[in-house]
Amino acid sequence: MNLLTITIFLPAAGLLALLFTKDCKQARWIGMLGALATFVLSTFVLFKSVNLDPGEYALTADVAWITLGKFDVHYRIGVDGLSGILIFLTGLLAVSAALASWSIEKGTRGYWAMFLLLHTGIIGTFASLDLFLFYVFWEVMLLPMYFLIGVWGGPRRIYAAIKFFLYTLFGSIFLLAGILVIYFAVTSDPAFAAKGYNAFSIPDLTAYAQQARGGGGILANYGANAALVANLVFWGMFVAFAVKVPVFPFHTWLPDAHVEAPTPISVILAGILLKLGGYGMLRINFPFFPGVMKDAAFWIGLLGVINIVYGALVAMAQTDFKKMVAYSSVSHMGFCLLGFAAMTPEGLNGAILQLFNHGTISGLLFLVVGVVYDRAHHRDLNRFGGLLWKMPAYGTIAMIAMFASLGLPALSGFWGEFLAFVGSYKTDYYEGAKLITLIATSGLVFTAAYYLRAIQRVFLGKLNPAYESFPDATRRERVAMIALLVPTIFLGIYPKPLIAVYQPAVDAIRLFVG
């Protein structure tokens, strides 16, 4: 059996095992084992995805699923460097999040069932090479997330859960519309059929899109309105992914979801779910519509800058620790957009590095917030102080995480931002990139400001006597945080191995830039 298939469905198999558990302790261990096994398998997947040629996929499987004449949906999966590192990130965060889930007491079996189902959805989405399958996995993620926030979240969990659900579904219907339009346009296109391409195959559609075909691109056969429809579909799909990233102005679900979600779910939300947006853009949005992308680049770059600066400014205004971290995610995902829009090797490299590194760093930051919240039962930045003296190990990890997030050199957050800036500054893919990049750099100042202030308020200064009795991070908490701290430091010093894994994928994306 295909290793990737096992990786996708192993968490779901854990779901079946949960049916036979008797108490929460067993459920917890099954969940933990599921997460560990996912991590081990995802490591194998990562090793299989190195040294591929551009456009080549490893661990592929291709089984016909729904065959109705032209309507030919396959269970088509595979990994390249890009999906390989993101699946690995999923496995890594699964373990950290599982450790942080240890204290979940209410409805334990249900919690772990949703936790595992969520991972099947996530890994399936990264592994899909068939549009229909991609959409199915994409939507399979929604319901578990809704329950995880809605049942196990904070006081305003119901509002946050439904908001998350509605926003994400709102986005994904445009993805569905795009899939429907693409299906008709290419199946009625004799040139497409002559090449033996499949209307749902992502590699086939990518290859077809790169053979220049007038205003409508792959939609050239969608009648007289092809050019208009191509623009609509491009931006529709962009909205689908932008909601997940999240791109301003579709970001408002994120602070609510993050603040209300339990710590481990925030970790997964920030660490993985946001990456799915960026991944979707790189895998589907841009390669399918190279013609439209050229015109859209400026606007995407502009949205990136808005994300960076606006996210940082709003983060600066927060007094809630978790909300601050949530808005910092909005800000940091802006660098990905900036790098995407540039379409230079440096820009794309930076953006993808940022996808991975933001995954570990923001996951780590949410764990940091979780630790202090478990002890203080509030997250008000102004009521802490001097925790570093009381909790030295915790304080050190937390400060490293924050420095990594603000982009200090020698920590992993630096490289993504740096490369994105370089790539964006020197691109000639669209007009006005230099100005946009210069404005974006101001975001760095604001970011430094809010993190340094947070460090000062929480960890330095006078110890609040009420927190005199706080124990340092427990062994379980330390393991969860260190699991994410190691790649943060390692990739800060030596990011080359990671870049080498996904470099072919960058080359493949850049094929259409020419």
Partner 1 sequence: MVPDLGNLLGRFGAETVLALAIPAILLADLVGGRGRRGANATAVGLLALVAALLLVLFQGAADGAILTKLLVADGLAKVFRVLAIGTGIVAALAALRWGDAERGRAEFFVCLLGAVLGACLTAAANDLAMLYIAIETLSIGGYLLAGFRKARVEGSEAALKYVIFGAVSSGAMLYGMSLLYGFAGTATLTTPAGASFASLEGASGAAAGQPAFLVAVVLVFAGLAYKVAAAPFQFWCPDVYEGAPTSVAAFLAVASKGAGFAAILRFVGAVTAGTTPDVTATAGDVRVILLVMALLTMTVGNVAALRQNNAKRLLAYSAIAHAGYLLLGVAVTTAEGATAVVFYMAVYLFMTLGAFYMVGVVEKETGRADIDAFEGLGFRAPVLGVCMAVALVGLTGLPPTAGFVGKYFLLQQVFEYGGAHDSMLFFWGGVIALLNTVVSLGYYTRFLKAMYLCDLERMPKGPFRFAGVDKGLVVALTVPVLVFGVAVAGLYDVASELARGIFVAVGGGR
Q: Based on CB atoms, which residue is closest to partner 1, 256 or 417? A: 256
Q: Based on CB atoms, which residue is closest to partner 1, 67 or 103? A: 67
Min CB(136)–partner 1 separation in Å? 4
Q: Based on CB atoms, which residue is closest to partner 1, 179 or 433? A: 179
Min CB(10)–partner 1 separation in Å? 17
Q: CA-CA distance, 435 to 438, in Å (whole number)?
A: 5
Q: CA-CA distance, 431 to 308, in Å (whole number)?
A: 19
How far CA 214 is from CA of 211, 218, 336, in Å, comes to 10, 9, 29
Min CB(45)–partner 1 separation in Å? 23
Q: CA-CA distance, 329 to 19, in Å (whole number)?
A: 36
Alpha-carbon radius of gyration of the chain: 22
How far CA 153 is from CA of 188, 193, 266, 446, in Å, comes to 48, 49, 10, 30
Min CB(485)–partner 1 separation in Å? 34
Q: Amino acid identity of 34?
A: G
Min CB(502)–partner 1 separation in Å? 28
Q: Based on CB atoms, which residue is closest to partner 1, 139 or 374? A: 139
Q: Based on CB atoms, which residue is closest to partner 1, 157 or 258? A: 157
Min CB(492)–partner 1 separation in Å? 39
Phi then psi for 66, rounded to 5 degrees?
Answer: -120, 110
Min CB(200)–partner 1 separation in Å? 12
371 contacts 473 by C-beta, under 8 angstroms: yes
Q: Based on CB atoms, which residue is closest to partner 1, 223 or 432? A: 223
Q: Based on CB atoms, which residue is closest to partner 1, 149 or 355? A: 149
Q: Which residue has the tokens 């540039």?
A: 342
Which DSSP symbol is given to 145?
A: H
Q: CA-CA distance, 236 to 10, in Å (whole number)?
A: 33
Query: Which tokens in the block code for residue 350?
Result: 């930076």
Q: Based on CB atoms, which residue is closest to partner 1, 76 or 390? A: 76
How far CA 442 is from CA of 77, 187, 414, 438, in Å, comes to 41, 48, 15, 7
How far CA 45 is from CA of 49, 86, 344, 492, in Å, comes to 6, 10, 27, 23
Other beta carbons within 10 Å of 248 = 21
Other beta carbons within 10 Å of 265 = 28
Burial of 261 (0-12, 13-18, 19+ CB in 10 A): buried
State the residues that interact with partner 1 by CB under 8 A.
Answer: 65-68, 71, 106-107, 135-136, 139-140, 142-143, 146-147, 150-151, 157-158, 161-162, 165-166, 169-170, 173-174, 176-177, 180-181, 183-185, 188, 221-225, 228-229
Give Cα 40 to chain centroid, integer Å. Answer: 20
Min CB(262)–partner 1 separation in Å? 14
Min CB(61)–partner 1 separation in Å? 16
Q: Based on CB atoms, which residue is closest to partner 1, 182 or 388? A: 182
